[in-house]
Chain A
Amino acid sequence: MSTKLDIYTTKRRGRVLNGLFTAACFLATITCVLVLLGLIWNIINQGQDWLDWDFIKHLPSRFPEKAGIKTALWGSIWLIGLTALFSVPLGVGAAVYLEEYAPRTRWRKLIQLNIANLAGVPSIVYGILGLGLFVRALAFERSVLSGALTLTLVVLPIIILASQEALRAVPDSIRRSAYALGATRWQTVWHQVLPASLPGIMTGVILSLSRALGEAAPLLVVGAMAYVPFVPEKLSDEFTALPIQIFNWTSRPQEEFHHLAAAGILVLLVVLVSMNAVAVFVRHRYGKKIRW
C-alpha cells in the first residue's frame, strides 16, 4: 500500500501521545475481532447439542425435542431459487444497459443515483411494498411467489451495482477491437464483455443472494407464517423460511427454544459461509485467468 511507505521519522516529541493513539486504535481493531469470535463461539456453544439429522428432517413442533427446520429449510430453498430466477436476469440486464447502452446523459446519472439509494432503503420498506403490490394489488396472497418477488426487489439494486462494477472493469480496448472487427453492440457485449466480467458478476450475485437468504423483516411483512406444517409445492403455497423460524424460536421465553434458535442459526451460518466461500473461490479461480 502506498501509505506503508516509511516516511515517518521517530522523534522524542509526542512519542507518548503517538503510542497511546496507536494503542487505542489497535485496541479498537482487536475488539472487533474478539466480538466476532465471541459471538460465533456463543452460538456454537448454545446450539451444537441440538444440531443433528433429526433437527434437519423434522417439522416444526410445540415440543422443543421434536422440533426441526424441514419446512423452513425448504421454504428458504424455494425463496432463493425463485429470487435468483427473477433478480439475476433483471439485475444483469439493467447493469448491461446502464454501462454499455445508455447514453451518458443527466437521466442516466439520475437512474444511477436512484439505484444507489434503493440499495440503502430499509428492507422492511420493501416488505411494505410487497404487501401493497404483490399480496394485495396483484392478489398473490401470502405465497412463496409474493415472498420471492419481494426479496427480488431487495437484492436487485445490489446485483445491479455489483454487475456494473464488474462491467466497468473490462477495459475499453476489448470493446473497440470487437467493434473494429465489425461486431454489433450486442455481439460485443455477449461474446466479449460479459464473459470477461462474469467472475465479478457471479461474485456479486452470490453475495446478494446470501443477503436474501438472511432476510426476515420483509418476509414477515409479506406474511410468512411462523408455523407451516408442510413443504411448499407450488408458487401459491404458504411458506416459512429459516430466519423466520429462528425469529420465532428466539422470541419465545423458554430456554429450550433458544437452543433450537442457536441450532437454526448454525445451519443458516454454515450455508452463508459456504456461499461466501464459493464467491471467494470464483473470484480467485476465474478472476486470475484474464490478463489484459
Chain B
Amino acid sequence: MTNERSDKEQSVEMHGGEAAVIGLPRSTSLEGAGGLWSRLRPVYEGLIHTSLLICASISVLVTVGIVIVLLYESIKFFYDVPVIEFLTGTQWTPLLKPQHFGILPLLCGTMLVAGGSALVAVPIGLGTAIYLSEYASPLFRDIVKPLLEILAGIPSVVYGYLAIVFVSPIIREIFPSAGVFNAASACVVVGIMILPMIISLSEDVLQSVPISLRAAASALGANKFEVTVRVVLPAAMSGIIASFLLAVSRAIGETMAVTLAAGATPKLTLNPLESIQTMTAYIVQVSLGDTPAGTIEYRTIFAVGLALFLTTMTMNLIAQYILSRVGERYE
C-alpha cells in the first residue's frame, strides 16, 4: 500500500508541471485564449490546492479552538477556585449557596454510568460479535447487521425518553426503593446505545484474525469452542479491549440519555438506584438556566468540559493506538 502511494506521488511530481504547458482539450478548442489559459492554469491549480489545504487546516483548527476556548474560561475559573479543591472536593453545589466546587461527585456519577453501561453492553456485545463472526450463517448476518445499524442510528434523546417511560418503571417494579430518576435506568439505556459500537468494532477485529490460525488449531484437534475461546479471542483481545475503551469513552460523553434518566443530584455514591448527576448532565443543567456570561457559575461548564474532554481524549488516543496495531502481527 505505502509503496504504491509513493509511486503515485512520483508520477504526480513528473506530470504535474508539464501538463500545464502541453495544453489540454479545453485550450485547443479556444484558439488564442489557449495561450492565456495555459499560463493561468498553474495559478488556477495553485488556488485550488490552497483552498483544499485551508479545508484540511480547519479540522486542525477545531481542535485548537476547543483547547483554547476550554482553557481560556477554565483558567479564569481556576483563578477563583484552586485546582486542588476542584479535584478533591466532595461537594458540587455551584448553583446553590454555599457554593462548593469539588468535581468528585460528578466524576463519580459519570464513572457509575460508564461502568454500569459497560456491564450491560460488554457481555452482550462480545457474545453477539462472536456469534456473528464465528457462528452465524451469512444470511443471518445479512439480516442482523442492518438491524443493529438501526440501533446505532437512534438519537440519544430517544434513549432518554425510553429510560424514563420504559426502563425506569421496570426497575422500580423490581427495586421499589429506586427513585424515578436513577442511575440504573441510565446504565441500561446507555448500555444499549454503545452496544452497536462494541459489536461492529469487535466483529471487525475478530474477522481480521486470519483463517490460517483457526485451521491450524482445528488441525491440532481443537473443537470450535476451543478454537474460538483459546485461539481467536486471545488473538483479537487487544482490538476487543480497544473497542471497549471507545465504547466507554462514548458512554462518558453521552449526554441526553443521562440528563433525562439519572436526574440532577450530584452525589458521591455507587448505589445505582439513587439519582446522580454526570459531568455532561451538569453542563446541560447550566445551559438550560439563564446563567449570565462571565460569572463563576458560567465558567464551571468550561472547567467541567475540560475534564470531560481530557478524559475522553485520553481513552480515544489509547484505543486508536491499540487499533492501529491490530492485524499488523499477522502480516
Contact = CB atoms under 8 A, between A and B. Distances in A.
A104 B162 contact: no
Contacts of A98: 56
A120 B55 contact: no
A288 B23 CA distance: 34
B93 interface: no
B9 interface: yes
A216 B155 contact: yes
Nearest to B17: A184
A117 B284 contact: no
B87 interface: no
A21 B229 CA distance: 9
A217 B284 contact: yes
A156 B317 CA distance: 19
B84 interface: no
Contacts of A9: 218, 221, 223
A46 B135 contact: no
Given A29-B144, A176-B8, A111 B224 contact: no
B287 interface: yes
A125 interface: yes
A96 interface: yes
B34 to A, nearest CB: 14
Interface string A58-86: 00000000000000000000000000000
B127 interface: yes
A121 B313 contact: yes
Interface string B124-146: 11111011111111100000100
B66 A214 contact: no
Contacts of A157: 59
Contact of A32 (B16, B128, B229): B128
Contacts, number: 315
Interface string B254-287: 1110011000000000000000000010011001
B226 A123 contact: no
B11 A5 contact: no
B55 A3 contact: no
A265 interface: yes
Interface in A214-228: 214-217, 220-221, 223, 226
Contacts of B192: 35, 39
A247 interface: yes
B153 A272 contact: yes
Nearest to B14: A179
B254 A122 contact: yes
A35 B249 CA distance: 23
A183 B284 contact: no
A101 B53 contact: yes
Contacts of A11: 221, 223
A101 B66 contact: no
Contact of B69 (A13, A39, A133): A133
Interface of B: 2, 4-9, 11-12, 15-16, 18-20, 22, 24, 41, 44-45, 48-49, 51-56, 58-60, 62-63, 65-66, 69-70, 72-73, 123-128, 130-138, 144, 147-151, 153-158, 160-162, 164-166, 192, 195, 199, 207, 211, 214-215, 218-219, 221, 223-229, 246, 249-250, 252-256, 259-260, 280, 283-284, 287-288, 293, 301-302, 305, 308-309, 312-313, 316-317, 320
Given A24-B127, A97-B53, A120-B316, 12 more contacts: A8-B223, A25-B130, A25-B131, A43-B158, A94-B55, A114-B59, A129-B65, A129-B66, A182-B18, A184-B20, A220-B288, A243-B256
13 contacts: A15-B223, A22-B224, A29-B128, A32-B128, A39-B192, A46-B165, A97-B56, A102-B56, A124-B280, A132-B70, A183-B15, A214-B155, A250-B157
